[in-house]
Amino acid sequence: MLIIPAIDLKGGRCVRLWQGEEDKETVYSEDPLAVARMWVKKGAQRLHIVDLDGAFRGRPVHLDIVEKIAREVDVPIEFGGGIREKAILDDVFTRGVDYAILGTRALSFDFVRDACLKFEDKIIISIDTRQDRILAEGWKKESSLKAEELVKGLVGSGVKTIIFTDITRDGTLRGVNIKLIQEFLEIADVKVIIAGGVASLADIMKLAELGGRRPAGVIIGKALYDGRVKLEEALAVGGQ
């Protein structure tokens, strides 16, 4: 199970938000590149980078920073936040990004199908939920689609990997919602990466010990930055 440190970009800095609320941020570093180097030095085998300003504005604004990180570290990068046009998607990959994350555009199966035809398994879909509702556009807009319906359409469009985020837990350090995660794993016959709520090593153990299908990875943000989880220990539990 991949253990993936999160690097959220806002105003050129590395931050964390509380439940995705734009005005509830904690700044952890003025130097995202230094943060990326730190996680890789500690053993990270992939980085999860999100352009929060891009998600709120509808197009990435931190691609220069992302390109610099991609050039400086030797692990794969998955990047999302405002990728809503084909030209932007093309640009993201020219910056050295290994996997592009589609969130809002995941609701357009035609867009997803075209992206998967061109970039195959380099496309990752982010499904963000709050109380059974699918959210988009920086978590500001609700979709009428149910998770099972969305997953079915995405798999039919060629998607191989999905990031599943419980927004009610994101940035809260409340722990992962195992019941909700298990329910999602049952309907998603693809690789699933879990995000939202990791508060301790115990949460990672719970995910690693799930019977049947278990997550392909888990994204950790606030718990790493606050020191509640040590990356080296998380990697050992995840089997890396």
**One of 8, 53, 166, 170 is an active-site residue; which one?**
8
Q: Where are the domains of the chain?
A: 2-238
Taking alpha carbons only, the member of 60, 64, 61, 59 closest to residue 33 is 64
Residue 3 class from Cβ within 10 Å (0-12 exposed, 13-18 middle, 19+ buried)? buried
CA 43 – CA 61 distance, rounded (Å)? 28
Distance of CA 221 to the CA centre of its chain: 10
Q: Which residue has the higher pLDDT, 182 or 174?
A: 182
Q: Estimate the crossing angle of helix 86-94 against helix 109-119, to 10 degrees.
A: 30
Half-sphere exposure of 152 (CA within 13 A, CB side): 5
pLDDT in tens, 89-114: 999 999 999 999 998 888 899 999 99
Listed in order, strand segments (DSSP E) in the chain are 2-10, 13-17, 25-29, 47-51, 77-80, 99-102, 123-130, 133-136, 141-143, 161-166, 191-195, 217-220
Q: Is the pLDDT of residue 213 over 90?
A: no
So what CATH class is 2-238? alpha beta
Q: Is the pLDDT of residue 169 over 80?
A: no
DSSP letters spanning 71-99:
HH--S-EEEESS--SHHHHHHHHHTT-SE
- Let me know if 203 is a catalytic residue: no
Q: Is the pLDDT of residue 28 over 90?
A: no
**One of 51, 128, 166, 203 is an active-site residue; which one?**
128
Contact 146, 186 (CB under 8 A): no
CA 88 – CA 61 distance, rounded (Å)? 11
- Let me know if 98 is a catalytic residue: no
Contact 219, 8 (CB under 8 A): no
CA 191 – CA 86 distance, rounded (Å)? 24
Taking alpha carbons only, the member of 171, 174, 185, 173 closest to residue 215 is 185
The pLDDT of residue 33: 97
pLDDT in tens, 125-140: 998 876 666 765 545 5
Neighbouring CB atoms inside 10 A of 205's CB total 12
Q: Which residue has the higher pLDDT, 240 or 40?
A: 40
CA 166 – CA 127 distance, rounded (Å)? 9
- Cα–Cα distances (Å) from 166 to 68, 133, 140, in that order, read 30, 10, 14
